[in-house]
Amino acid sequence: MSLKFSDFVLLLLFICFSSPTLAHNGDDPITRTMEEFSGYPIHESHSHSVSSLSVDARSLQKQIDELATFSDTPAPSVTRILYTEKDVLARRFIKNLMGLSGLSIREDAVGNIFGRWEGSEPELAAIATGSHIDAIPYSGKYDGVVGVLGAIEAINTLKRSGFKPKKSLEVILFTSEEPTRFGISCLGSRLLSGVEELAKALKTTVDGQNISFILAARSAGYAEEKDDFYSVSLKKGSYSAFVELHIEQGPILEKEGIPIGIVTAIAAPASIKVEFEGNGGHAGAVLMPNRNDAGLAAAELALAVERHVLESGSIDSVGTVGILELHPGAINSIPSKSHLEIDTRDIDEERRNIIIEKIRQSASAIAKNRGVRLTEFKIVNQDPPALSDKSIIEAMEAASKELNLTHKKMISRAYHDSLFMARVSPMGMIFIPCYKGYSHKPEEYASIENISNGVKVLAVTLAKLSQG
Ligand SMILES: *[C@@H]1O[C@H](CO)[C@@H](O)[C@H](O)[C@H]1NC(C)=O
Ligand SMILES: *[C@@H]1O[C@H](CO)[C@@H](O)[C@H](O)[C@H]1NC(C)=O
Ligand SMILES: *[C@@H]1O[C@H](CO)[C@@H](O)[C@H](O)[C@H]1NC(C)=O
Ligand SMILES: [Zn+2]
């Protein structure tokens, strides 16, 4: 695999040095338009520029396939965990593509990667776009990737059309959107958004193998200066807009045959850890009136979660007990300990918080009624939802219309780096359909036609925002 990768790099370098204009264009006939339209601002002739946009779908598909080979499990599955060798190689692949697109590259202490195309007024806050390339074990090759490789291709597409940005355009690769290794989701974007408790916690965070975050980051070439994770946070106003392109990870767009989803809000996730303790005992010897069964307390709480979520009366409220562990876990032993992890989300923060409060009350009441101890009720995270910015929604809608692509406004029920970027920048998201809504498994698939449409909408949106 490393041979394949270095061949690829050499080939690209050869193309780059032997013919600078071909570096971004291959043998694309659009090459000529680059000179013809250079310095031609897109807002002065929108329809012309939009119709001259051409996504290099073949290269983009090749890049998606190539990136998928940096995996710790066999194809078609992809496993790419933060700071592993495969993650480092994948990052190198992305930086190389950014370089070939003429972007200037910067990396921060946790490995968020920024590639900037400087605008004609570089002192103005830039327009950013991007996503993640880490992949949970045995997942697919499109989640996040479409928003990173697609963003670089959107830049290439704009460059080929002769577009020149006023505000700088920046592609961001976010570190560790998935919580796989250190249990923290959206690690990179959380830090960028200025979560100081996280910057502090990372200094003592270890993974499942007791490898510290700092050592792992160093092994990937990051965290070299005094473990200063506070330095990652962005100043408010660093960006005037952030737009993320992503597969829907749900079935709606495909089912309705709509190529573009425009996200108006991202649901607010919260997660809670709960533990009950009872006296346990022999499953035969301890009679029913004398028991305090920690397992039954957990079962009752799981049902209470469902009840409280349904009581909200909104289809947007959801709650899940995805982890329920019993100790000692023997058929002839009354559970003496139980451990639950609860995930609850809503697009309405207050409604979501009411559900959390009801779950807390139920946990106490159940413990009391059953004579068990509620030894832990820990809200691990309780993030606020994010609303897309009105002017970015308008830009995404206008872009879809100019490209003759129908669109649908929708809510993102999964969360993304955009949830955190919304704290420091006006935010918007573009969804594209994916096969049966599958994600986080090898069957995850989006057609290159649908990806290319998303890239076009992203390119036109970035162009509009850059000139605004
Ligand atoms: C984890 O590593 C630290 C530091 O190397 C060590 O002190 C600690 O005992 C280890 N913990 C476990 C559970 O292995
Ligand atoms: C691509 O999008 C179209 C809607 O424009 C949809 O009909 C088709 O099923 C999508 N393909 C995939 C693989 O999702
Ligand atoms: C969109 O459709 C209109 C009318 O059919 C056409 O004139 C225009 O060229 C199309 N634009 C694009 C980008 O395909
Ligand atoms: Zn993702």
Q: What are the pLDDT digits (tens) for 193-219?
A: 999 999 999 999 999 999 999 999 999
The pLDDT of residue 228 is 83
Average pLDDT value over all residues in the chain: 90
Determine whether the shortest distance from the Cβ of 403 to ligand 3 is under 6 A: yes
What is the Å distance from ligand 2's center to 288 Cα? 57
Q: Which residue among 436, 447, 449 is best mutated to probe the pocket of ligand 2, counting the most ligand atoms within 8 A of its Cβ? A: 447
pLDDT bucket at 276, cuts 50 / 70 / 90? very high
Q: Can you state the angle between helices 294-311 and 349-370, rounded to 10 degrees?
A: 150
What DSSP letter does each residue of 286-326 carry, written as one string? S-GGG---HHHHHHHHHHHHHHHHHHT--TT-EEEEEEEEE
**What pLDDT sits at residue 52?**
79
Asked if 132 and 172 touch (Cβ cutoff 8 Å), the reply is no
Ligand 1 midpoint to CA 209 (Å): 9
Separation of 197 CA from ligand 1 center, angstroms? Answer: 22
The residue whose two tokens read 């976010």 is: 174
Task: Quote the ligand 2 centre to 257 CA distance (angstroms).
Answer: 6
Place of tokens 């070439």: 221
What's the 404 CA to ligand 3 centre distance in angstroms?
A: 6
Query: Is the pLDDT assigned to residue 39 strictly greater than 60?
Result: no
d(CA 327, CA 329): 5
Instruction: Examine the pLDDT at 382 and tell me if it is beyond 60.
Output: yes
Cα–Cα–Cα angle for 305, 385, 318, rounded to 5 degrees: 25
Is 38 near ligand 3, meaning CB less than 6 Å away? no
- DSSP type of residue 146: H
* CB distance 8 to ligand 2 below 6 Å: no
Residue of the CA atom closest to atom 11 of ligand 2 = 447
Asked whether 50 lines ligand 3 (CB < 6 A), one says: yes
Q: Is 78 helix (H, G, I), strand (E, B) or coil?
A: strand
Which residue owns the Cα nearest ligand 2 atom 8? Answer: 254
Q: Give the list of residues 6+ apart from residue 40 with CB closer than 8 angstroms, or none.
A: 49, 162, 163, 164
pLDDT, position 376: 98
420 token code pair: 């955190």
- Asked whether 321 lines ligand 3 (CB < 6 A), one says no
Domains and CATH numbers, the chain: 5-267+385-467 (3.40.630.10), 269-382 (3.30.70.360)
In which residue are the tokens 């032997």 written? 18
What pLDDT is recorded for position 468? Answer: 85
Q: Which atom of ligand 3 is nearest to the CA of 403?
A: 13
Ligand 2 within 6 A of CB of 454:
no
Kindly report the pTM of this predicted structure. 0.83
User: pLDDT band at residue 37, thresholds of 50, 70 and 90?
Assistant: very low
- The verdict on the CB of residue 406 being under 6 Å from ligand 3 is no
User: How far is the CA of 35 from the CAs of 32, 53, 240, 243, 311, in angstroms?
Assistant: 6, 15, 29, 28, 62
| Alpha-carbon separation of residue 78 from 135, 143, 145, 183, 317 (angstroms) | 7, 10, 11, 19, 31
Q: Mind listing the pLDDT tens digit for each residue in 443-452?
A: 999 999 999 9
